[in-house]
Structure 1
């Protein structure tokens, strides 16, 4: 198993643990307070790990220099869809709906180009 997949699995498990921990300890003062620092830390760390997973899977761990030197139409589509998901989530407050819409558009684009 490559390092990429090990990191991806570790990040996914970490996200899952950080997201469900507040539900198990909802009566505890540190995790039950949604305005508290610890709860915000778990939320922000989960979002950061999710962002790292999205970047790694969308752009195959390329840095900005590699991305710009090998820029292709598919990269434009990926960036546009990531922005669509971002603003769609802000507007509707529903991540899953925006993500599924972007996924359908991306799969349609890939199948249409092939």
Structure 2
């Protein structure tokens, strides 16, 4: 009985610890989601526009620590600020730094925008 109680207590502490730390990466935007813009993930590059760029900007905001200075307006325009944030993100996650947002960059963004931590 003592082992069962001890096991339950340890499990409870582990669970409580994971609940207490869940979502700390994006504490500035708890429960934030970028799917409100689109679930489409097309190839994007400088001068692209539209809902997919808004989703990109949203995911970059959730993946790069705001203290890094890459906070983006979600205006749907892939301009210089978005390009700089893409370069920073690609560099941080070990991708080829080309400024194009294709399947590999989208996959890393999908991961880091939902992770308990910042990519950069």
TM-score bin (small chain): 0.3 to 0.5
User: Rg bigger for which structure?
Assistant: 2
**Larger relative helix fraction:** 1
Say which structure, 1 or 2, has more relative contact order (CA 8 Å, 6+ apart).
Answer: 2
